Structure 1
Amino acid sequence: MSLKRLLCAAILCLCFGGTVSFAQNATPNPAPAAAPITAPTPEPAAEPPVAPAAEASAPPAPPPASVAPAAPPAKAAASRPAATPMSGPVRNVVLVHGAFVDGSSWNGVVAKLQQKGYRVSSVQNPLTSLADDVAATRRVLARQQGRTILVGHSWGGVVITEAGANAPNVAGLVYVAAVAPDLHESTMDLMKRAAPMPAGQGIVKDASDFLWLDRSKYHADFAADVPENLTRVLSAAQVPIAAKAFGETVSQVAWKEKPSWYVVTTKDRAVSPEVERFMAERMGAKIVPIASSHLAPVSHAGAIADVIDRAARELSRQQ
């Protein structure tokens, strides 16, 4: 080989050797670049999200401690409004009838009160039980917007005694020749406080255990001061009452928490005037005596409307 060729070969070797050494020196540099890729792997070990995930499965025990206390207040808040009285004038009147009549027995009173500007509602009691009559009355009360005066005649007094308790929109009560029992007291309990009344002897029970008032005695013993032609209509349309109702007792007493008025019918032959006065005095009611038969809402509609009007005005002034 010539000298010239040897020099060329030597030069080529040097060039390739330099390239290889350069490549070997360059490979370490990628290693640092790879390091950032492998560096994140240790992070999952200390990854914060893992801890919360573990806590999320543990809550069943801790959270109740913080949530449980909040539940009772919610229930309490829901029950409070029911006991909170409303404010404003009394412009609503709800009338509750007694046995052996229906809501139409209040027609004369309704007309008089409407003339005075009141919004009047007359409940139609099914007279099938105390609970049913109370439910019917509460449905009507629930429709009243604003303060209301609740009025009961005869058996209707038992109904308003129960239905008017804890009713926030009931501002006061008016009893008209009505039965006003105390806690766990029934109509029969109160009637036993006096000798049997004439109307009681005209009450008959049918095969379904409902009580009716003998039509032939309706005028004389129930509505003596009502024109006979009208009592014939009333007796024909009378609604019988379940016999068990007179033995049912009240579990709440509205007159213990609401101002009350009581119309004592001094010529009553169905409920003893003496028992009426006893009930009125026991409840601390404002007593208004009227020389009327038991069916005062029919025979003395104007006078009964005036009592209700005076009661509503007085309650409105007390605001």
Structure 2
Amino acid sequence: MMNRRTFSKVLVAGAAASLAATRGFAATAKPVQARNVVLVHGLFADGSCWLDVLARLQGHGLNTTSVQNPLTTLEESVESAKRVLDRQDGPTVLVGHSFGGMLVSEAGVHPNVSALVYIAARAPDAGEDFPALANTFPKPPASAGILFDGQEGRLGEEAFLRDFAGDLPAEKAKLLYAVQQPFQKKLLAGRTTQAAWRFKPSFFAVSTDDRTINPELQRFLAKRMGAKTIELEASHLSIVSRPDEVANLVLEAAGYSHRTDPATAG
């Protein structure tokens, strides 16, 4: 019988074997210029978590929309993103944070999507058991802070402040905790049927101080997809603590050469 260690080695080896078919495309393909950006949040959040990034993108003239992910089932969450993508006029960069990367991988095959951006995000292959893959890496501390009321889950305040938003001022972190949207347990059982990163230019921002998704797992995912990758010294919420760098990565995915200047950004 295969023990857990052997299973983990086989799983990672199998996932790494797909590199030959995918690695290099995303890094070498030049994204077309896009004027639209769609942002997708993950667990323990709502659409307001993107406000700092959104403001910077709008400042560059990009039509930017933050999806309100229902966090009910994977299918319903993907549909919420697809409805927003249907409304976009022309090439669109699809950006996902955390669990939102699941939606990027699935909904990213939409014809309006020109490039994909993953911010400290899950990036599953089609049909992949992502929790099994994640379990081959050390378990992040935030996992122990998830609380359930029946089928509804959320992150407890202590874990939220320490493990999810650890590099934010306490006052800011508490505001984000207050607008946290609970998720349904069945959401976690969903598997993607598409891997848009196999076909479209992809970008990845790794959070090096992440206590919610293991940074080594993030690096593995970015390398597997051949993504243009940056590393940010940040908690899981780099979209709040490092909005300039996140916005600049999105601008690059949108085909823009100009960047947000941290010294002048509002």
Fold similarity call, TM over 0.5: yes
Counterpart residue number, 1:296 = 238
Is residue 211 of structure 2 the alignment partner of residue 306 of structure 1?
A: no
Q: State the distance in 2 between where 1:95 and 1:105 align.
A: 10
Structure 2 equivalent of residue 14 of structure 1:
none
| Equivalent residue letter for 1:210 | E
The within-5 A match list for 1:59-78 is none
1:121-162 deviation digits (Å, cap 9, x = unpaired):
000000001101100000000010010000000000001100
* Paired residues for 1:225-236 under 5 Å: 225-236=167-178
Residue equivalent to 2:8 = none
Cα distance in structure 2, aligned partners of 1:191 and 1:253: 17
Higher fraction of helix: 1
Distance in 2 (alpha carbons) for counterparts of 1:210 and 1:190: 24
CA distance in structure 2 between the aligned counterparts of 1:286 and 1:89, rounded to whole angstroms: 16
- Superposed, 1:168-317 pairs within 5 Å as 168-207=111-150, 209-313=151-255
Shift of 1:96: 0.2
SS of aligned partner of 2:77: helix
Separation (CA, whole Å) in 2 of partners of 1:300 and 1:312? 19
TM-score of the two chains, using structure 2 as the length reference: 0.83
Identity %: 44
Distance 2:32 2:134 in 1: 38
1:18-39 CA-partner distances (Å, limit 9, x unpaired): xxxxxxxxxxxxxxxxxxxxxx
Following superposition, which runs of at least 4 residues in structure 1 exceed 4 angstroms of deviation?
none
> 1: distance between equivalents of 2:256 and 2:201?
10
Aligned-partner SS, 2:236: coil
Map 1:65-214 to 2 at 5 A: 89-165=33-109, 167-207=110-150, 209-214=151-156
Which residue of the partner structure matches residue 73 of structure 1? none
Mapped contact 2:32–2:114 kept (Cα < 8 A): no
Distance 1:186 1:160 in 2: 16
Secondary structure of the residue aligned to 2:255 is helix
Alpha carbons 1:203, 1:213 under 8 Å: kept? yes
For residues 151 and 190 of structure 1, what CA distance do their matches in structure 2 show?
A: 22
| 2:38 counterpart SS class | strand
Computed over aligned residues only, the root mean square deviation of the Cα atoms, in angstroms, reads: 1.5
Is this contact kept in 2: 1:88–1:146, CA < 8 A?
no
Unpaired stretches in structure 1, ≥5 consecutive residues: 1-86
Q: Which has the larger radius of gyration?
A: 1
Deviation at 1:268, TM superposition (A): 0.1
TM-score of the pair, normalised by structure 1: 0.69
Instruction: Give the number of the structure with larger relative contact order, counting CA–CA contacts within 8 Å between residues 6 or more apart.
Output: 2
Amino acid at match of 2:39: L
- Residue 240 of structure 1 and its aligned partner are, at CA, apart by 1.3
Separation of aligned partners in 2, 1:227 and 1:296: 13
Q: Which runs of 5+ in 2 are unaligned?
A: 1-30, 258-266
* Secondary structure at the counterpart of residue 180 of structure 2: coil
SS in 2 for 1:94: strand
